[in-house]
């Protein structure tokens, strides 16, 4: 991943902010629909392994620190805000032609902002996607979480395979 400022005329990845904004709008819209149409903690079966289940997560990923007494709401909000600012700066410094990196950063940003909104407005994150098999349930999540996960995966791919200093590079025909 390049930390250099893009050269003049090349542009930067701030153009990807439209995707972040779209993900925030979709995430908040779906959370509104879930909150309006689902009864809290009552699963609506979609497939034998997938339910729509409205849940409120006061913690972080996988409900980490959900029962910590309330301070975590503000701690996670500050972290999300700081990460969001860092991601915008990173997008600004990323050349436009590094679109895997721009795409990954914008997805993480959109997800972080969607969940940040929930924390600030509601005090919890609205989750509604519930996957399970037999008696095993994966922690419920939402579109913002999907964006963060997919974006992080793209950042890993960029770092390992696409960046100029990637540790795993394809051999060129000239080598």
Determine the Cα–Cα distance for residues 100 and 159; give it in Å rounded to an integer. 10
Residue 103 is predicted with a pLDDT of 97
pTM of the model: 0.85
Catalytic machinery residues: 127, 145
**Percent of the chain topping pLDDT 90:** 68
Q: DSSP 3-state assignment of 36?
A: helix
What are the b/e assignments for 64-103, b being 16+ CB within 10 Å?
eeeeeeeebbeebbeebeebbeebbebbebbbeebbbbbb
Find all residues with CB under 8 Å of 172, minimum gap 6, and list them: none
Q: Which position has the higher pLDDT, 56 or 168?
A: 56
Task: Identify the H or E element spanning 101.
Answer: helix 99-122
Does 6 have pLDDT greater than 50? no
* Predicted pLDDT of residue 4: 45
* Cross-strand pairs, 50: 47, 131
54-58, 109-113, 152-156 — which is least confidently predicted? 54-58
Q: What pLDDT score was predicted for residue 166?
A: 81
Greatest mean pLDDT range, 53-62, 93-102, 114-123, 142-151: 142-151
What is residue 3's predicted lDDT score, i.e. its pLDDT? 46
**Do the Cβ atoms of 30 and 22 come closer than 8 Å?**
no
Helix or strand run (H / E) with residue 55: strand 50-57
Asked if 96 and 13 count as a contact pair (C-beta separation under 8 A), the reply is: yes
pLDDT band per the 50, 70, 90 thresholds, residue 71: low
Mean pLDDT of 63-77: 63
pLDDT digits (tens, 9 = 90+) for 78-101: 899 999 999 999 999 999 999 999
**pLDDT(174) > 60:** no
Higher model confidence: residue 164 or residue 137?
137
């Amino acid at each position: 991943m390049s930390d250099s400022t893009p050269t003049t005329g090349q542009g930067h990845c701030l153009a990807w902010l439209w995707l972040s904004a779209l993900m925030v709008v979709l995430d908040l819209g779906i959370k509104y629909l879930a909150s309006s149409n689902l009864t809290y903690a009552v699963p609506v079966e979609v497939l034998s392994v997938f339910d729509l289940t409205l849940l409120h997560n006061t913690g972080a990923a996988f409900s980490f620190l959900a029962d910590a007494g309330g301070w975590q709401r503000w701690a996670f909000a500050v972290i999300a805000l700081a990460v969001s600012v860092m991601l915008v700066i990173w997008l600004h410094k990323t050349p436009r032609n590094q679109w895997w990196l721009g795409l990954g950063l914008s997805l993480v940003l959109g997800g972080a902002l969607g969940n940040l909104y929930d924390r600030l407005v509601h005090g919890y994150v609205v989750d509604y996607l519930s996957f399970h098999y037999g008696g095993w349930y994966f922690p419920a999540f939402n579109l913002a979480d999907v964006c963060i996960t997919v974006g992080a995966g793209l950042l890993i791919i960029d770092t390992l395979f696409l960046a100029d200093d990637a540790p795993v590079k394809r051999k060129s025909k000239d080598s």
